[in-house]
Structure 1
Amino acid sequence: MITKATIEDVSALNKLINSAYRGESSKKGWTTEANILEGKRTTEDELRAIIQDPKNTILKYTENNQIIGCVLLKEKENELYLGMLTVSPELQNSGVGKKLMQEAEVFALALGLYKIVMTVITVRAELISWYKRKGFVDTGLREPFPVSEVFSQTSNEPLEFMVLEKRIQ
C-alpha cells in the first residue's frame, strides 16, 4: 500500500533510506552508493524538515506494517522533483520501485505538473539506465555534488549530478 508518510514514520524512513544507500546492508541491493560514499544518506532531522515543508511529500510503500519503499516528491513551479527513491535492499527488483514511480506520476498529474525531474550521480550508470528505461532522459544539465558533514566521498573520482527529466500526460 502506498500512502503519504508522516512525522511518525521518520525513524523507519531514516533506517530504510540509509540501509539502501550506504553501508554493508546496502550492498545486498543494486542501488548502493557504498562504493563511492560513506556516512549517512539522510538524518531524522532532515526527514522531519522535509515532511514539515508543505511543498514536499514522501510517499511510503508499506507491506505487513513495514515501510519497504519510499520516494520524496517536491512541488516546484512547473515540475515535480523526485528524489530518494528507495526500496529495501532485499526487495529490490520486486516491482516496488516501479510502483512508487507510477504513483509519483499520478501525484504529479493531480497537481497539474507534466514534468518530473531528478538528479543522479553521473557515475551511477546502472541506475541512470534504469531511469531511462522508465522514460527519463538526460537533459544535458549537470549540478555540483554537495559537500556534507553527514557523508564523505570514498573515491577520488569527481562527483556531479546528472539532471534527468520525464514528461508525463
Structure 2
Amino acid sequence: MTLISISSATEQDVPDLNVLVNSAYRGESSKKGWTSEADLLGGIRTDEAGLQAMLQNPNVTILKYEEAGQLVGCVSLEKKGQNLYLGMLTVSPDAQANGIGKRLLAAAEQIAIEKQYRAITMTVITVRHELIAWYERRGYRATGEKQPFPDDPRFGLPKQPLEFIVMEKVV
C-alpha cells in the first residue's frame, strides 16, 4: 500500500511545487494530462518567486499531496472574506485520473467547513469546458460573474482572447 499524505507546503517545497505546477499546466509534458493549458497559453504558469510570495501571505495555504514521499499534487487556498478561494489545483500529468484532484478538493472543502467559510470560490478559463464540467459534477456552480484574464506575462501568454468564469460551492 502506498503511503499518501496531504499537508501544508513550506518554503522548502517551493522548487518541487514550481516543477509540478509548470509540468501540469504548460509545455509538452502537460499534454500527457487532460488539464493542460498549453494550447491556450504560452510561457510559464508560475515561478519560485510567485510561490514563495504565496506562502509568505498569511491568508494563503498550499496543500501538497504526496505518494511515497513524491509530490504529485497541490492546491492553493486563500481566505477572501467569508469565502475560501481555491486555485492552482494541480496533479502531475503522469498521475491524473487516479482521484488525486478529488482528494485535494475534498481536503479543501473540509478546511472550509472546519473554518466556517461561506463557500469555496474559484475562477476557471471559460473555454475549459471539460474542467468546468468536472467541477460541476462536484457541486460547483457558475455564479454568472466573469473576470478578464490578467494582462501579465507572469500568468502566461494567451494564444487567444481569454476570460474567467467565477464558480462557487456553498459549504
From 42, 52, 67, give the equivalent of 1:63. Answer: 67
From 45, 51, 58, give the equivalent of 2:55. Answer: 51
From 81, 89, 110, give the equivalent of 1:85. Answer: 89
Aligned to 1:154: 159
Aligned to 1:138: 142
Q: CA deviation at 1:66?
A: 1.0
Aligned to 1:3: 7
Distance 1:112 1:23 in 2: 38
Q: Per the alignment, in what secondary structure is the counterpart of residue 117 of structure 1?
A: strand
Q: CA deviation at 1:114?
A: 2.8
What is the CA RMSD across the aligned residues, in angstroms? 0.7
Q: CA deviation at 1:2?
A: 0.1
Question: For residue 167 of structure 2, what is the amino acid of its counterpart?
Answer: L
Runs of 4+ with >2 A deviation: none
Q: Deviations over 1:104-157 (max 9, x none)?
A: 0111112111300000000000000000001000100000100122321123xx
Aligned to 1:118: 122
Q: Deviations over 1:63-110 (max 9, x none)?
A: 121110000000111000000000000111100000000000111112
Distance 1:147 1:71 in 2: 23
Question: For residue 167 of structure 1, what is the amino acid of its counterpart?
Answer: V
Aligned to 2:168: 165
Distance 2:65 2:158 in 1: 30
Distance 1:46 1:71 in 2: 14
Q: Per the alignment, in what secondary structure is the counterpart of residue 18 of structure 1?
A: helix
Structure 1, unaligned stretches of length 5 or more?
none
Aligned pair count reads: 166
Question: For residue 165 of structure 1, what is the amino acid of its counterpart?
Answer: E
Aligned to 2:133: 129
Structure 2, unaligned stretches of length 5 or more?
none
From 29, 33, 58, give the equivalent of 2:37. Answer: 33
Q: Per the alignment, in what secondary structure is the counterpart of residue 103 of structure 2?
A: helix
Distance 2:77 2:36 in 1: 21
Q: TM-score, normalised by structure 2?
A: 0.95
Aligned to 1:14: 18
Question: For residue 48 of structure 2, what is the amino acid of its counterpart?
Answer: E
Q: Deviations over 1:16-46 (max 9, x none)?
A: 0000000000000000000010110001000
Distance 2:97 2:139 in 1: 17
